[in-house]
Structure 1
């Protein structure tokens, strides 16, 4: 990698796009996780039970599952500039509605809608891949993902203090509402200052929309199988909220939602056949093929890394508050520390993947994640607080590096499908968040961390056995603005 070609301290060309993109992602995550560090105040004001708190945590990640798939398709067809601007505006509106809620039902509905903002991440993955060559892509995507993800940590650090500045019982409302206003204003900035590609470059679009293209019979079957967990995760949320568990939904509503999910799955499978049924009658040319197993493995890796981060970030402030004798403000700040390592972890994971290979980097990060979570399962109130926080930061470095390694690989799977590959991997991150939060509701926090460690260990073995190192050949922007397939050393 040519170190001089990567200029971070600049606001021109591709570096300007990088900075504008990570800021959009930062604001997205600031909005998405603005409730976590303020949950103690929200719980007190509304008199929420533990079941209702768990409901809000689940709803916060529910909509992001289908939204990331949808946004991945939209960005491949409409372009990042339009789609990200729309995401930011809608998210700001939903955020303001959450801040103005007066009942638990309003909190639940608006928190569910706010899951939409988590889909914004997918947009930047495609945008960055249009501006950066493969030899710099891991680092660029890592900076985008890492500095953007820091929005969750910044929420934990800043929003409790901001709520205190506003003061009163409604201080949390003002803090949350402020993030919504920022999101709406930045949507205008992003739309005015970003272009989808460098001047003269072609924005490659899928041949067909509505489902990802696959290139063999085996990949067709695997694609169907990998879609199942997306709908199962939604059904699990409904089950958890229904009469069998939390009883937040009536029996009739529960069955209606099950029917809607089943109809969505049937429509998706039909569309997959419409887009890819031809592989059973006419082979795809060799030059246009790609192995879908790469997508499946990246999905599972992101579930083990980002999926666990979603669950941990959501529960960590209350975990610190209940385990150690500290103030709610300090608990929020310490809980946000898990996402703090995004600043260096994701760029570091992407950079190492660029230099030493995607497969090796993913395996090493999975090993680090497994060790970190298994050790976190041993934390209790007798531990020194500083040691517990240090272990959290250690684990977080590997979690963020794993995310960076995944998205260093995503744009190298198939150029014109980058948004959809990113969307599916991102959706699996949310599947992980849902599944792991459900696990948390069924077991102790200590066992919850042990489960996360075992999942990471299993994923490391799968990657070691089945993953191929991504091809170094990719579409790159040439000095004259044309796009050409070249080998990247």
Structure 2
């Protein structure tokens, strides 16, 4: 981003607007893509999303004005809908007794890709510079290369996946074979009217959304609060992002285990419990003044927030089995909405505190003003973290209102106890 700002002459407002536009694009795309998955299947939706999404990524490397950059950022955000397709696909491919673990693992690797990207893009830029490209232009080549990889993965997905264990939606329909997913398919309006969908929307905003915001602001917070070097703070934040390789899977795994012990209610109870831990860890972290104690609670926060994300999508497939895509889309969008609202809270608090610090220290020299700004920002963000943690705890209590009918519980129990060896996939060739 610093290279982009210098090359295109972005103002601070334009930089922030590019981030907001990317998040906004993801929200709308996630709401839409779930319904498309229900109709056309995840395989085709993923293929088209990756191939079309590659276009703005490549074009981003060719932009010449801030407006062009902002437009590309908006459409690049649509690729964030890939999360919903992944959740729909794993929900269709895996049995109820392990669907939570499957959903959490695939989603965790998605987040892991985001962390790896923080390392990968600068490395690509450095490699390009090594071939004689000007440093100010290297970021453009990085974007083009990333777009090409995205396009190629769309082709790979088309040829090496299928919608369900029985075959693709189109082939099954052509052969007169119906699957539970398509049978008596419910309308999008039915999903919108289900209060449980919106509770999970808020829950995902309180876990994934908060993770995005906390890690997006943690670099500066660690520097301002504990006087860490930028590289050290960045590496700490990156290491917590990489915890997704196992932490989110744990949330889905324990969601499945509680589901086996206590039924669908057990999944909800675990979700509420891990959300409470997440909120408590963030609140405690916000009050620590020791870097060593703070890191301990940051680790616990990272573990619990990622487990909460996995636990959320161990519940999602059971809200409405005839509209998994629509439910996943709405809940997934909640994460980005939560990130936006939390970021606005922290930004507003920090901006007010920093402005007050500047006025209070006016005329005392640039270094004094800068130090006062850092201290004011740290205090404001700390207060914001505490408020957010408290909101997460309240959300955990609200999540307990998610209920399932006795019929749903009975079906889930039957599905969980099915012997996988008794299930024989139907092979359909077009």
TM-score by length of 1: 0.68
1:364 and 2:269 correspond:
no
1:424 and 2:330 correspond:
yes
SS at match of 2:38: helix
Q: For 1:463-489, what per-residue CA distance to the aligned partner results, in whole angstroms no more than 9, with x for missing partners?
A: 23454597362568852337xxxxxxx
Q: Is the 8 A contact 1:156 1:332 kept in 2?
A: no
1:413 and 2:322 correspond:
no
Q: Is the 8 A contact 2:185 2:322 kept in 1?
A: no
Q: For 1:25-68, what per-residue CA distance to the aligned partner results, in whole angstroms no more than 9, with x for missing partners?
A: xxxxxxxxxxxxxx233334444443333212211110111211
Q: Hey, what does 1:305 align to over in structure 2?
A: 207
Question: Residues of 2 paired with 1:320 and 1:161: CA distance?
Answer: 24
Q: 1:112-261 residue pairs with structure 2 within 5 A?
A: 112-167=74-129, 168-199=135-166, 202-203=178-179, 204-205=181-182, 207=184, 211-213=188-190, 223=192
Q: Hey, what does 2:20 align to over in structure 1?
A: 58
Matching residue within 348, 357, 372 for 1:442:
348
Structure 1, unpaired ranges of 5+: 1-38, 215-222, 225-291, 483-489
Matching residue within 481, 484, 489 for 2:425:
481
Q: Is the 8 A contact 1:156 1:333 kept in 2?
A: no
Q: For 1:200-247, what per-residue CA distance to the aligned partner results, in whole angstroms no more than 9, with x for missing partners?
A: 674423756762425xxxxxxxx46xxxxxxxxxxxxxxxxxxxxxxx
Structure 1 range deviating more: 411-420 or 330-339? 330-339
Q: Hey, what does 1:346 align to over in structure 2?
A: 248
**CA distance 1:317–1:176, shift in 2 (3 Å):** farther
Q: For 1:433-453, what per-residue CA distance to the aligned partner results, in whole angstroms no more than 9, with x for missing partners?
A: 221122122112223322321
Tell me the CA shift for residue 135 of structure 1.
0.8
Question: Residues of 2 paired with 1:113 and 1:428: CA distance?
Answer: 19
What's the RMSD between the two structures over aligned residues?
2.6
Structure 1 range deviating more: 446-455 or 348-357? 446-455
SS at match of 1:456: helix
Question: Greater share of helix residues, 1 or 2?
Answer: 2
Matching residue within 54, 67, 72 for 2:29:
67
Q: Is the 8 A contact 1:73 1:210 kept in 2?
A: no
Tell me the CA shift for residue 307 of structure 1.
1.3
Q: Hey, what does 1:337 align to over in structure 2?
A: 239
Q: Is the 8 A contact 1:72 1:422 kept in 2?
A: yes
Q: For 1:171-193, what per-residue CA distance to the aligned partner results, in whole angstroms no more than 9, with x for missing partners?
A: 32233332221111111111001
Q: Hey, what does 1:463 align to over in structure 2?
A: 399
Q: Hey, what does 2:369 align to over in structure 1?
A: none
SS at match of 2:148: helix
**CA distance 1:59–1:160, shift in 2 (3 Å):** same
Question: Residues of 2 paired with 1:184 and 1:132: CA distance?
Answer: 27
Question: Residues of 2 paired with 1:354 and 1:372: CA distance?
Answer: 24
Question: Residues of 2 paired with 1:186 and 1:52: CA distance?
Answer: 31
Question: Residues of 1 paired with 2:296 and 2:140: CA distance?
Answer: 32
Tell me the CA shift for residue 337 of structure 1.
3.1
**CA distance 1:192–1:466, shift in 2 (3 Å):** closer
Question: Residues of 2 paired with 1:335 and 1:97: CA distance?
Answer: 30
Q: Which has the larger radius of gyration?
A: 2
Structure 2, unpaired ranges of 5+: 130-134, 168-176, 259-265, 351-380
Question: Residues of 2 paired with 1:90 and 1:322: CA distance?
Answer: 41
TM-score by length of 2: 0.77
Question: Residues of 2 paired with 1:191 and 1:210: CA distance?
Answer: 27
Tell me the CA shift for residue 378 of structure 1.
3.6
**CA distance 1:41–1:392, shift in 2 (3 Å):** farther
Q: For 1:404-461, what per-residue CA distance to the aligned partner results, in whole angstroms no more than 9, with x for missing partners?
A: 0111111112211100110010111111122112212211222332232122111011
**CA distance 1:305–1:77, shift in 2 (3 Å):** same
Q: For 1:282-336, what per-residue CA distance to the aligned partner results, in whole angstroms no more than 9, with x for missing partners?
A: xxxxxxxxxx233222111111011112323433445556664534x55544433
Question: Residues of 1 paired with 2:20 and 2:183: CA distance?
Answer: 33
SS at match of 2:409: coil
Q: Hey, what does 1:83 align to over in structure 2?
A: 45
Q: Is the 8 A contact 2:185 2:323 kept in 1?
A: no
Q: Is the 8 A contact 2:271 2:311 kept in 1?
A: yes
- Count residues with an aligned counterpart: 365
Question: Residues of 1 paired with 2:53 and 2:183: CA distance?
Answer: 27
Question: Residues of 1 paired with 2:288 and 2:213: CA distance?
Answer: 17
Q: For 1:153-176, what per-residue CA distance to the aligned partner results, in whole angstroms no more than 9, with x for missing partners?
A: 111233233333333122322333
Q: Hey, what does 1:106 align to over in structure 2?
A: 68
Q: 1:385-400 residue pairs with structure 2 within 5 A?
A: 388-400=294-306
Q: Is the 8 A contact 2:186 2:323 kept in 1?
A: no
